[in-house]
């Protein structure tokens, strides 16, 4: 069948397997030509490995000099009568193919990270493929819900402000429109549920599981990703439900750091730059800021994608010093270029002029949309999008 991009709201409903393969390949080529990651980890577990930061981290550590073997957990859909399959599903296949071709172990576990069954599979895979121990655990889950342990009920995250309503705009990728929105504040239950889904609880329980199973290697590190952003984004992000969950994640990093100190290792919440991913386009009110940020950082030559961020994280921060460089709150800052004062001054100027009729010119909407399409395998040169794809091959 011929596969075309189908976007519903801000959600991609189709993905192109050959384009996804191309996206993985381009990231591999980038890290191969970049400064090598030296002293990197050899056995890495990535929770949330199929897209965004998790996939980029997996690629950087496998192909960027560390030659890591990896176990990747993700929750993706393969082709079925319901649809062609998700981009992450095809990314996983492509990654495995390229990694194994170069002699690296690449185990994909497709299932719910919050379930006991996946935990058991991971512990077994660590025994089988990693001689029982991991050197790095990357927690890169972005999820809208989490099943409550031992129950059929779910916690659902709500992306809302806390305290007061916030006005903003969301850009609907389906029809390129700007929609002014007012987000009502979250109630206590929504705040609490978001904390369970996106806070540090599950990260901590994964590390506890690995400690209890004696799967932690000497010197093992763990990281999880966070976002802080400039003050203009705080009403919707840092001061809202997601920010509350991220602050919980930061606190979790301190308790995990104490636990891993017993293994001469450490735990770090890593603050990344705002980037187009399946998860981030879903955040209401954030897209105008991202359009302005993309334009300004590209103009200044400081724009990075997920792969550049992950490569710089491992080559310059996590594995290049005897102690990991952190800020006063013990956070690893990969958002340093985003938060550069000149960059933010310019972003504020652009945003002050941006509105529903000029956002495509004022911001880098073309770049934003093209990146979203590429995440789903569309828009790559050299791929014949008119040709039929045999989905039975995947």
Q: Which is nearer to ligand NAI, 217 or 303 (CB)?
A: 303
- Whichever of 141 and 217 has its CB closer to ligand NAI, that residue is 141
CB of 230 to ligand NAI, least distance (A): 13
Residue 78 Cβ vs ligand NAI, minimum distance, rounded to whole Å: 13
d(CA 358, CA 39): 48
Catalytic residues: 237
Cβ closest to ligand NAI, residue 50 vs residue 62: 50
Torsional class of 285: left (φ above 0), alpha (ψ -120 to 50), beta (otherwise): left
CA distances from residue 277 to 15, 33, 221, 349, 355 in whole angstroms, order as listed: 14, 24, 25, 25, 23
Measured at the CA of 237, the angle between CA 13 and CA 294, to 5 degrees, comes to 65
Q: In this complex, which beta carbon is closest to ligand NAI, that of residue 74 or of residue 215?
A: 74
In three state form, how does the secondary structure of 163-210 look?
A: CCCEEEEEEECCCCEEEEEEECCCCHHHHHHHHHHHCCHHHHHHHHHH
Picking from 132, 156, 133, 136, the residue whose alpha carbon sits closest to that of residue 144 is: 156
| Total residue count of the chain as it appears in this document | 394
Q: How does DSSP classify residue 131?
A: T
Nearest-angstrom CA–CA distance, 372 and 369 = 5
Q: How far is the CB of 339 from ligand NAI (least distance, A)?
A: 12
Query: Which CB, 47 or 220, lies closer to ligand NAI?
Result: 47
Nearer to ligand NAI, 30 or 75 (CB): 75
What pairs with residue 215 in β-bridges? none
Binding positions are: 48-53, 75-76, 112-113, 141-142, 227, 246, 275-277
**Least distance between ligand NAI and beta carbon 263 (Å):** 24
Residue 283 CB burial class (10 angstroms; 0-12, 13-18, ≥19) = buried
**Distance (Å, whole) CA 364 – CA 170:** 15
CA 87, chain centre distance (Å): 14
CB of 204 to ligand NAI, least distance (A): 14
Q: How far apart are CA 235 and CA 258, in angstroms?
A: 32
Tell me the closest approach of the beta carbon of residue 299 to ligand NAI, in angstroms: 20
Annotated binding site for substrate: 227
Q: Which residues are annotated as a binding site for NAD(+)?
A: 48-53, 75-76, 112-113, 141-142, 246, 275-277
Position of tokens 């550069």? Answer: 340
Which residue has the closest beta carbon to ligand NAI?
52
Residues of this chain that bind ligand NAI (CB under 6 A): 48-54, 73-76, 88, 112-114, 140-143, 225-227, 272, 274-275, 277-280
């Amino acid at each position: 069948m011929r596969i075309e991009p189908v976007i519903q709201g801000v959600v991609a409903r189709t993905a192109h397997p050959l384009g996804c393969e191309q996206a993985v390949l381009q990231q591999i080529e980038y890290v191969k030509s970049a400064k090598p990651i030296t002293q990197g980890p050899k056995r890495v577990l990535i929770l949330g490995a199929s897209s965004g930061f998790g996939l980029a981290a997996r690629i950087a550590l496998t192909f960027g000099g560390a030659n890591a073997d990896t176990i990747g957990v993700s929750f993706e859909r393969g082709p079925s009568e319901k649809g062609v399959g998700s981009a992450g599903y095809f990314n996983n296949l492509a990654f495995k193919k390229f990694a194994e071709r170069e002699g690296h172990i690449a185990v994909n576990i497709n299932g719910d990270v919050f379930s006991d069954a996946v935990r058991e599979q991971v512990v077994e895979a660590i025994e089988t493929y990693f001689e029982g121990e991991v050197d790095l655990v990357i927690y890169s889950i972005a999820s809208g819900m989490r099943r409550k342990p031992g129950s059929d009920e779910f916690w659902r995250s709500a992306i809302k402000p806390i305290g007061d309503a916030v006005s903003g705009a969301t850009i609907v990728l389906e029809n390129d429109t700007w929609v002014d929105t007012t987000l009502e504040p979250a109630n206590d239950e929504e705040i609490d549920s978001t904390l369970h889904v996106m806070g540090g609880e599950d990260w901590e329980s994964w590390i506890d599981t690995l400690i209890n199973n004696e799967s932690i290697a000497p010197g093992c590190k763990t990281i999880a990703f966070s976002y802080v952003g400039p003050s203009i984004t705080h009403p919707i992000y840092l001061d809202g439900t997601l920010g509350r969950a991220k602050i919980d994640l930061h606190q979790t990093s301190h308790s995990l750091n104490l636990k891993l100190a017993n293994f001469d290792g450490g735990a770090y919440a890593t603050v990344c730059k705002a980037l187009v991913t399946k998860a981030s386009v879903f955040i209401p009110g954030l897209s105008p800021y991202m359009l302005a940020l993309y334009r300004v950082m590209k103009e200044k030559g400081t724009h990075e994608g997920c792969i550049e961020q992950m490569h710089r994280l491992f080559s310059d921060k996590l594995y290049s010093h005897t102690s990991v460089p952190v800020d006063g709150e013990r956070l690893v800052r990969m958002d340093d270029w985003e938060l550069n004062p000149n960059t933010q001054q310019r972003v504020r100027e652009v945003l002050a002029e941006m509105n529903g009729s000029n956002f495509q010119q004022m911001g880098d909407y073309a770049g934003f949309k093209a990146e979203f399409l590429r995440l789903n395998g569309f828009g790559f040169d050299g791929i014949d999008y008119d040709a039929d794809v045999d989905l039975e091959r995947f």
